[in-house]
Each structure stands twice: as structure tokens, then as C-alpha cells.
Amino acid sequence: MNILHCDLDAFYASVEQRDHPELVGKPVIVGGLPGSRGVVSTCSYEAREYGVCSAMPAKQAYRLCPQAVFLPPDIPKYIRVSQDVFAILHRYSPVLEALSIDEAFLDVSGCHRLFGSSAQIAKMIKNDVLQETGLLISVGIAANKFLAKLATNLSKPNGLMELGNDEIAEILPSLPVSEIWGIGSKTAHRLNKAGIYTIADLLEFPRSKLETILGSNTDFYIQLCSGKDSRPVLSRSDRKSIGNEITFPVDLADQKEIEQLLLELSCQVAYRVRHASLIAHTVTIKMRTPDFQTFTRSQTLQQGVDADLTIYDIALNMYHQSGLAGKHLRLLGLSCSKLLERNLEQPALFADENDILDKIIDDMKDKFGSAAIKRGSLLNKKGRNM
């Protein structure tokens, strides 16, 4: 039982409730605003009682829970809090695999002499996180990643659960297939249509027929359903890309406005790239037209980039050459990939003046919060939503 899965409860919403005590106990929805076409990023447990859930369109969330407090996300703030939490996790084991901003695996093999049993470590983590960041974190303990994550899901919120062999034999067979790692609502629906509702159903189903639904991953899922998962906790899980996208409240065609949004996206994404001590060799923009056609343009550079304005210039150039400049768009996205560690990059002779400015802006954001400083060209924006 050496694998811990740690997951912050309703992360964005909890951070906002922590920073705005008047919101404690109220339904809080972070994400798109009600009048917009954005979606819910996170909602507090109070909002979940009304049936609101992540990735739900903001409009629908508003219908379900009109009294909720809707807030736009403050990603830089969440990144800072997340880093604090991950630093706490790191105290207990060097083998940490971040799954997302609010979720990580920890392999505590060999750490018991220092810190005690896995359950004791989990308690210390929960205590440290609450004391130091004011947030609740759920921890699942099991022999592998799948079961540890399952333990967290079953015990949330503010959970702590250890899934031993006896519990697994008892709990696992009756769980719905949607609890299996990697089975989303679509696959779950197809399994249900085939008469497979629970994990036990899946294990009894003929393998060859199962393959028509699950494809090449069939064996992996069968393993998971048997409680087996041999994937190691990868301490330096290589990030493939860092990106962000905006769904506009109304379709946008105004080039000036789109350019401004592109700048804002560039600044957000570049800030995250720099914070991760990475440098990007590919910049990609994504544009979705009102008829839901999605177009991407990307450029790969010999030279790694991490400066706000450099990424913006590349993105802007691609936007203008995409053939979609001036056309109506409903979504705009920007991402950086081919990420390499910044300190392994070949050093440069000429300092980029953009780097110096970015450094100053980053320092101010880190110290005073992401609202403390902004590029002048991002002021006077029309109302919109992330």
C-alpha cells in the first residue's frame, strides 16, 4: 500500500472560498459566467448538490443553481497555490507525479522509516495542506495508481481511504464501469448498451466482443478491473503541452479584439511555460468557427521561446495567415508544445529585452497576485469570459 493519490477538493472554488470568506457555505461556480457560452471549471460542493458539475455549460449551471456565485478563474493564483501544495507532497516522497493542477500521485515506498505508515503519511499531508494553505485534500491509499485514485474518488470530499485486498474484493465488482480509469461517458454508454454496467459485468463479458468496444486497450482495462495496475509513478512526467483557450460569449470577428485575446492567451500560456522552467519549440493556435469547424495552425522553431511577446508575435502571424482573420470565431486557443527544460537549452549571446520585462512582470504577479500588473494593451477589454 505505497501509492497515494492526492486530490484537492473542488480546488478552484475552494481557493476562492478561502480568499473570500463571505462565500463559505455558498454554491460557488468558477468558470464561464452565466450569460456566456463558457463551461464550469470547478464548482463547490454546495453547488454540486444542485446537480452542477465540471464541464457543464455555464448556462445550464445557472438554470440548476441561479443563486450560485459565478466567478472567472484566476489561473495564476491557482498555479501558485498548487505549487505550495505540491511542495508539501514533496516533503514526504521525491517520487511525485502531477496529474493536473490539483491532483498528484505519490509513491511512498521506502519512506516509512522516516514518516510512518502510508496512512500516517496521508494524515500528515492532509494536516499540512490544511494548516499551510487552508485547503482540504482527499487522499487515497492503495497498492497501485488505479486503486489509489479510486479510493480518493470513493472518499471525497475531505477523504482518506485505504483500499486493501479485502476492501477491493468487496467493492470493486459492483462499481459502475464509469469508475474505471480512462472510461469516459461515451465509452461507458457503449458498454452499458452492450449490457455491461459494473466491473463484474465487464470481467464476465467475452474478451473478443469487449475488444470491439474498448479497442487496443482492452487488456489494460481488464487488468484494471481485476485491481491490477503496473504503471509506475513517474516523478518527472514529461509535459506534452501547455495551453489555454477561450470560448467567446458571442461570436467574434473584430480583428482588434481577437488580437487582444491572442495577446492575453499568449501572456497566460507563456507565464505557465516560464513557471515550469520550460521553453517551447512549437506554438499552436486553434480557431473554431461558428459552424464548429476547428482549425489549427502551428509553427515549430529551432529556437525555444518563452517570452509573452515572442509567443504573441508568432501566434499573431499565424492568425493573419490562417485565412480566418476577420472571419467569425467562437473559440480561440493557444498552446505551446515540444517543451524542453529551460536550463538545457543552448544559452544565447543576446538577451531578449522581452525576457527582462517578463521577469519583472512574473515577479510582481508572484508577489502581489495576477491582477497586480497587466499589459496596457489588455486594458479596456470588452466583457467576455474565459
Partner 1 sequence: MKFVIEKKELSAISSLVYRAASNKNTIPILSGILIQVSKEKGLTMTATDMDIGIIASTQNIEILDEGKALVNAHYFADFIKLLPDGTVIIELNMEASKLNINYGRSSGFINIYRDFEYPNLPLEKMEKKMVLPQAVLREALRKTSFAAAANHFRQVFTGVLFDLAEDNQLKIVASDTHRLAYFNYQLDNDNLNPLSFIIPIRTVNELLRVLNEEEEVINISFSENNVIFHKDNFILLSRLIEGNYPNYKQVIPSTSTSRVLIKSNSILNALERAKTMPTDDKLKIQHVQFKFNENEVVINAYSEIMGELEEVIEDVQIEGEKEVKIAFNTNYFLDIAKIMQSECNDMEISLSGAIGPAIIKNPDNNNYLYVLVPLRTGN
Q: Which residue matches cell numbers 459552424?
A: 291
- In angstroms, the CA 194 to CA 203 distance is 13
Strand residues in the chain grouped as ranges (E): 3-8, 28-31, 40-43, 69-71, 96-100, 103-107, 137-142, 160-162, 241-252, 278-288, 294-305, 329-341
Burial class (CB in 10 A: 0-12, 13-18, 19+), 86: middle
Nearest approach, Cβ of residue 346 and partner 1 (Å): 5
- In angstroms, the CA 325 to CA 126 distance is 49
Nearest approach, Cβ of residue 342 and partner 1 (Å): 10
Strand residues in 109-227 grouped as ranges (E): 137-142, 160-162
Closer residue to partner 1, CB minimum distance, 158 or 303? 303
* b/e code 134-158 from CB counts within 10 Å (16+ = b): ebbbbbbbbbbbbbbbbbbbbbbee
Q: How many residues does the chain have?
A: 386
- In angstroms, the CA 374 to CA 364 distance is 10
Nearest approach, Cβ of residue 242 and partner 1 (Å): 18
Closer residue to partner 1, CB minimum distance, 118 or 310? 310
Sorted by sequence, the CB contacts under 8 Å of residue 152 that are 6+ apart come out as 5, 6, 7, 138, 139, 140, 159, 161
- In angstroms, the CA 370 to CA 53 distance is 26
User: Which positions lie near partner 1, rule CB under 8 A?
Assistant: 301-303, 305, 310, 313-314, 340, 343-344, 346-350, 352
Torsion angle of C-alpha atoms 94, 97, 103, 106, degrees rounded to 10: -40
Nearest approach, Cβ of residue 280 and partner 1 (Å): 11
- Tell me the CA distances in angstroms from 40 to 51, 162, 264, 369, one per residue in order: 12, 31, 20, 23
- In angstroms, the CA 198 to CA 176 distance is 4
Compute the Cα dihedral for 9, 246, 322, 283 and give only its sign. Answer: negative
Closer residue to partner 1, CB minimum distance, 40 or 283? 283
Parallel, antiparallel or unpaired: strands 137-142 and 40-43: unpaired
Active site residue 259: no
Which three cell numbers, joined as nine digits, stand for 186? 461515451
Closer residue to partner 1, CB minimum distance, 238 or 291? 238
103, 162, 179, 264: the catalytic one is 103
DSSP code at position 302: E
Closer residue to partner 1, CB minimum distance, 63 or 236? 236
Closer residue to partner 1, CB minimum distance, 195 or 347? 347
CB 68 within 8 A of CB 43: yes
Closer residue to partner 1, CB minimum distance, 347 or 383? 347
Closer residue to partner 1, CB minimum distance, 163 or 283? 283
Task: Work out the end-to-end distance of the chain between its first and last CA atoms, rounded to an integer number of angstroms.
Answer: 40
Nearest approach, Cβ of residue 236 and partner 1 (Å): 11
Residues marked active site are found at 103
